[in-house]
Amino acid sequence: MTRRALLLCLTAALAILVSVQPATAFFGGGGGGMKEGDVAPDFSAQTIEGQPLNFAQFKGKKVVVLDFWSIYCASCVEEIPKLVEIYNEFKDKGLVIVGVNLDSFGTQRVVRFMQGMPVKINFPVIIDKERKVATSYAAMVLPTTLIIGADGKIKFYHVGYKAGDEKHIRTVIAEAVKQIKK
């Protein structure tokens, strides 16, 4: 087989493999290890707007949803409008959502993708190219959604998304924001 023929076969095999991928994405390296009741690890990052974001700034004050996603994850993209609705409902009651994008090809591409979405993502988004935040939260399958109470403990850890999951997410958030000490 010639080098060109081999390259064509490998390209075709890759195209078939990509076309049969499930709606979730796997970013390798493990998973597991985090569960409800665990203390959420601290992290610092920069938003796509260039603003510093430090998880510690929310402790004791906000309920935090971390949504790990990629532009190539169909379930992630399907979940985002539901998270925007939830954010709009609870942002004045003590909720912050942080989108943690795991795409490695750069901020500009992610920003262009977000600008093309039918709904505007109005919560902070960080790019976790090196998977430091994802690794500390054992978020290797996308989407992974966590709800962290103002006490800094994980209240909800969910991998994947299917229509209707947002109902449970909304319920957990509603209960968590009630527990914020004012």
Q: Hey, what domains does the chain have and what are their CATH numbers? A: 23-178 (3.40.30.10)
Q: How many helices (H) and strands (E) does the chain have?
A: 5, 9
pLDDT of residue 181: 83
pLDDT of residue 21: 36
CB-side neighbour CA atoms (13 Å) of 19: 6
Residues linked to residue 153 through DSSP beta bridges, in sequence order: 39
pLDDT of residue 45: 95
Question: Which residues of the chain are modeled with pLDDT < 70?
Answer: 1-33
pLDDT of residue 32: 53
Residue type, 66: L
Contacts of 129 (CB under 8 A, 6+ apart): 102, 103, 104
pLDDT of residue 55: 97
Task: Give dist(CA 64, CA 150) in Å, integer.
Answer: 7
Task: Give dist(CA 30, CA 83) in Å, integer.
Answer: 26
Residue type, 6: L
State the residue for tokens 């974001």: 53
CB 135 within 8 A of CB 97: no
Task: Give dist(CA 97, CA 130) in Å, integer.
Answer: 21
